[in-house]
Amino acid sequence: MHSDLIVGFLGDATLSDDLKEIEILDTDLFIATTNSDSINALAVQKAKLLFGVDNVICLISDVSKQKLYERLGVKIVNYSEIIIESLIHSSLEN
């Protein structure tokens, strides 16, 4: 059965029991968006390696870790890049 359902999750995604509770085995995409790079990285690695989620996205702020996570097959969204792009875009509008 295919569904385009998006489920928000408030819990500890570093805990396997919490991930099982949201039925992660049926997940096509997992996105970690806490304010901690380490927690986000651990959560997406667990989703990918332990539960077989192919598509994982990790929100990070430390650009020095970006290449490492990308080599692990993790797509990265970087706080700093988003803010800088937004500021540049806003300044060009005025």
Q: What are the structural domain ranges in the chain? A: 16-93
pLDDT per residue as tens, the chain (94 positions): 345 667 777 778 888 888 888 888 888 889 998 889 999 999 999 999 999 998 999 999 888 888 888 888 899 998 888 888 888 888 887 6
Backbone angles phi, psi at 29, to 5 degrees: -145, 135
Of 61, 67, 68, 66, the residue nearest 84 (C-alpha):
61
Domain 16-93 falls under CATH 3.10.180.10: no
Per the confidence metrics, is the pTM higher than 0.95?
no
Which 3 state secondary structure label does DSSP give 52? coil
